[in-house]
Amino acid sequence: MRKSLVALSVLAAAAALPAQAEYLYGFGNVSVNYLDWSKGTEQRSGGFKDDFVYLELEGGAGFTWVNCTVSST
């Protein structure tokens, strides 16, 4: 219990630090694919592997992370 409380406190302290993210780039991709197993693979698997079609959706983004510091004068 004590270790969990310490870990939670450290996590909360890290999350409380101000941070700013600047968007750099992003991408997205949609594709329809057909997986064609070789006949040998299909035979060795005992019929558990069949050819199939699947839809693939991908995306991502890049950011630069900047820590903000607050100073009082």
**What does the pLDDT look like over 16-66, one tens digit per residue?**
666 678 899 999 999 999 999 998 888 888 888 899 999 999 999 999 977
- 27, 59 Cβ separation under 8 angstroms: yes
Which is more confidently placed, 71 or 30?
Answer: 30
- 54, 31 Cβ separation under 8 angstroms: no
pLDDT confidence of residue 20: 77
3-state secondary structure of 40: helix
pLDDT confidence of residue 19: 65
Q: What residue ranges do the domains of the chain occupy? A: 18-73
End-to-end CA distance of the chain: 41
pTM more than 0.95: no
pLDDT confidence of residue 52: 93
Residue 6 sits at φ, ψ, to 5 deg, of -65, -45
